[in-house]
């Protein structure tokens, strides 16, 4: 496997009024290999969406760099980014906003092909609809005629039009009903198998992430606290935050353990030391002062904790 996308020490800060700075992403380094699916999980405000957008150049990092296929794409102008855009696409949560309501979906799907001067446009659109499991005849219909699940399929088709190497999907199934969600989860698996496209899934839903991703990076307040093989991380969490997240998922088979206390601290004013220490059930004095770095922990796993739950 070789590296498709690499982030090195990414920082993303937003300036708020009054000299306050929101640290959306702080010191994130990660790699996505060709054909691999990485999931960024965490609660709202943990920076997973900001990170996703920074990875594909929709926003520029404050510092650090992003390499795509060995080339530096962070800091490039919009114009210089354009050739890369075809190779990285984004799928959004709100599946209804991505299509022009006054044009047939066929026209919308064909547009990027026309812009990039591709041939055999009609055949390509038919191909795409086959791939996402829609009938070819839907190309002549308008976006409002589709259900939420079908629209999400179209949305994925739109992202696949130019044959990208990487998809970044921000909460691709969280707006869907369970039965439809399962269809889309399966679709992503099929597409990865048939097209070899790498995916970065951004999600808050651990069971969905477990089903969709090879590797998981758990984020808390802008930083990755734990990263590794998906099943490994979720079956034997090393970071107390990962464990707390897992415990908080309501499941039919066991009563809820006592939940974490309090709310996520403000990213404008993050705690000192380990950012999780204010809510951590096993915090020690050292955690309030020393910030743990992401250290190897087992095979292909990294964790940022002074007292990891697995050695």
If one asks whether residue 37 binds other proteins (CB under 8 A), the answer comes out as no
User: CB of residue 46 vs other proteins: minimum separation in angstroms?
Assistant: 9
CA distance 38 to 175: 20
Q: Decide whether 19 or 117 has the Cβ nearer to other proteins.
A: 19
**Cβ 257 to other proteins, closest distance in Å?**
8
Q: Which of 260, 256, 301 is nearest to 283 (CA)?
A: 260
Specify whether the CB–CB gap between 165 and 88 falls below 8 A: yes
Work out whether 231 is an interface residue with other proteins (CB under 8 A): yes
Query: Which is closer to other proteins, CB of 251 or CB of 286?
Result: 251
Q: Hey, which residues between 138 and 177 contact other proteins (CB under 8 A)?
A: 147-149, 177
Region of 56-64, 84-92, 120-128, 179-187 interacting with other proteins (CB under 8 A): 179-187
The yes or no reply on residue 19 touching other proteins (CB under 8 A) is no
User: Judged by CB under 8 A, does residue 179 bind other proteins?
Assistant: yes
- To other proteins, the closest distance from the beta carbon of 130 in angstroms equals 18
From 246, 274, 294, 304, residue interacting with other proteins (rule: CB under 8 A):
246
Task: State which of residues 248, 268, 282, 310 lies at the interface with other proteins (CB under 8 A).
Answer: 248
Least Cβ distance, residue 203 to other proteins (angstroms): 11
Which residue shows structure tokens 């086959």? Answer: 130
For 77-109, letters b (16+ CB in 10 Å) and e give eeeebeebbebbbbbbbebeebbeeeebbbbbb
User: Which positions ≥6 away from 122 have C-beta within 8 Å?
Assistant: 110
CA distances to 6, 177, 265 from 181, rounded to whole Å, are: 29, 6, 31
Is 207 among the residues that bind other proteins (CB under 8 A)?
Answer: yes
Encoded tokens for 305 = 């904790």
Residues with Cβ < 8 Å from 119, sequence gap 6 or more? none
> Which tokens belong to 94?
């709100």
Nearer to other proteins, 104 or 211 (CB): 211
Strand order in the sheet with 302-303: 88-91, 166-170, 198-203, 37-41, 215-220, 223-229, 302-303, 295-296
Q: Which two tokens stand for residue 272?
A: 């000192």
Shortest CB 71 distance to other proteins, Å? 34
Q: What residues have CB less than 8 Å from 283, skipping those under 6 apart?
A: 274, 276, 277
By the rule CB under 8 A, 255 interacts with other proteins? yes
Identify the residue among 8, 13, 33, 43 touching other proteins (CB under 8 A).
43
Answer yes or no whether residue 189 interacts with other proteins by CB under 8 A. yes
Residue 259 sits in the site that holds other proteins (CB under 8 A): yes
Q: What phi-psi label fits residue 47: left (phi over 0), alpha (psi between -120 and 50 degrees) or beta?
A: left
Stretch that binds other proteins, among 87-95, 96-104, 152-160, 260-268 (CB under 8 A): 260-268
Q: State the minimum distance, in angstroms, from the CB of residue 94 to other proteins.
A: 15
Residue 241 exposed, middle or buried by CB count within 10 Å (0-12, 13-18, 19+): buried
Positions in the binding site for other proteins (CB under 8 A): 17, 43-44, 147-149, 177-183, 185-186, 189, 204, 206-208, 210-211, 231, 234-235, 244-253, 255-256, 258-260, 263-264
């Amino acid at each position: 496997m070789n590296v498709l996308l690499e982030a090195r020490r990414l920082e993303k800060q937003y300036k708020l009024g009054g000299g306050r700075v929101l640290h959306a992403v702080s010191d994130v380094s990660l790699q996505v290999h060709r054909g691999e699916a990485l999931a960024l999980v965490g609660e709202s405000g943990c920076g997973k969406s900001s990170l996703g957008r920074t990875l594909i150049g929709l926003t520029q990092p404050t510092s650090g760099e992003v390499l795509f296929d060995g080339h530096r794409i962070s800091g490039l102008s919009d114009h210089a980014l354009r050739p890369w855009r075809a190779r990285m696409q984004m799928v959004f949560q709100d599946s209804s906003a991505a299509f022009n309501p006054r044009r047939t979906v066929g026209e919308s799907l064909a547009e990027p092909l026309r812009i990039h001067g591709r041939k055999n446009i009609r055949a390509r659109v038919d191909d795409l609809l086959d791939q996402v499991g829609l009938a070819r005849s839907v190309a002549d219909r308008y976006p409002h005629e589709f259900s939420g699940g079908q629209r999400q399929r179209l949305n994925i088709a739109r992202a696949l039009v130019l044959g990208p190497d990487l998809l970044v999907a921000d909460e691709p199934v969280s707006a869907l009903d369970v039965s439809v969600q399962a269809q889309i989860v399966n679709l992503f698996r099929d597409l990865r198998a048939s097209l070899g496209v790498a995916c970065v899934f951004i999600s808050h839903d651990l069971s969905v992430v477990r089903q969709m991703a090879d590797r998981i990076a758990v984020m808390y307040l802008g930083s990755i606290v734990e990263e590794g093989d998906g099943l490994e991380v979720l079956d034997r969490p090393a970071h107390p935050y990962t464990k707390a997240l897992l415990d908080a998922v309501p499941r039919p088979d066991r009563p809820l353990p006592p939940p974490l206390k309090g709310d996520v601290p403000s990213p404008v004013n993050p705690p000192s030391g380990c950012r999780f220490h204010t809510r951590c059930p096993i915090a020690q004095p050292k955690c309030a002062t020393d910030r743990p770095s992401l250290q190897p922990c087992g095979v292909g796993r990294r964790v940022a904790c002074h007292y990891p739950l697995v050695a």
